[in-house]
């Protein structure tokens, strides 16, 4: 079993705990930091990046998510999805999500379908 010492945490671990990378000449080499240290570094870096550029990222994200949410809600209403019906049934707080049975959802779906046909 081949082992290697991580340059970050100084723990000797099996070689499989290190990610392999392809070098410019096509050979593979094993990284100097173990997977855990590499992941932690990436996470910290992305958190720092988000904190630094929060305004831009949130601004960039908002129109997409709003647009997506609208079309998602419209589709859910049109197709009478389980989630949409569950939301309707629990809306006034009389019923809880855990009280809902598949039969109840199906019944509500039939009611809505009937109402739409009568319109
Ligand atoms: Zn490490």
Query: Residue 102's pLDDT band (boundaries 50, 70, 90)?
Result: very high
> Quick check: 97 pLDDT over 80?
yes
Helices (H), the chain: 35-52, 54-79, 82-90, 102-118
**Based on the domain organization, do 79 and 48 belong to the same domain?**
no
**Based on the domain organization, do 78 and 39 belong to the same domain?**
no
> Cα(43) to centroid of ligand 1, in Å?
14
Is residue 61 domain-resident?
no
> Cα(7) to centroid of ligand 1, in Å?
7
Q: What distance in Å separates the CA atoms of residue 1 and residue 13, rounded to the nearest whole number?
A: 10
> Cα(103) to centroid of ligand 1, in Å?
53
> Cα(39) to centroid of ligand 1, in Å?
10
Per the structure, the complete domain to which residue 116 belongs is given by 68-119
CATH number, domain containing residue 42: 3.30.60
Q: How high is the pLDDT of residue 24?
A: 82
> Cα(84) to centroid of ligand 1, in Å?
46
Looking at the structure of the chain, the number of domains it has is 2
Q: What distance in Å separates the CA atoms of residue 28 and residue 21, rounded to the nearest whole number?
A: 6
What's the pTM?
0.46
> Cα(65) to centroid of ligand 1, in Å?
37
Between helix 54-79 and helix 35-52 the angle, nearest 10°, is 90
Is residue 57 domain-resident?
no
Tens digits of residue pLDDT in 21-80: 888 888 888 999 999 999 898 889 999 999 999 988 888 777 777 778 888 889 999 999
């Amino acid at each position: 079993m081949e082992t290697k010492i991580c340059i970050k945490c100084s723990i000797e671990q099996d070689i499989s705990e290190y990610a392999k990378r392809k070098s410019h000449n096509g050979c593979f080499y094993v990284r100097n930091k173990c997977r855990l240290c590499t992941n932690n570094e990436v996470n910290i870096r992305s958190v720092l990046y988000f904190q630094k550029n929060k305004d831009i990222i949130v601004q960039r994200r908002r129109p997409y998510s709003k647009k997506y949410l609208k079309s998602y809600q419209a589709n859910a209403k049109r197709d009478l999805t389980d989630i949409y019906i569950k939301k309707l049934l629990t809306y006034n707080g009389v019923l809880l999500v855990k009280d809902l049975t598949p039969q109840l959802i199906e019944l509500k779906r039939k009611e809505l379908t009937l109402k739409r046909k009568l319109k």
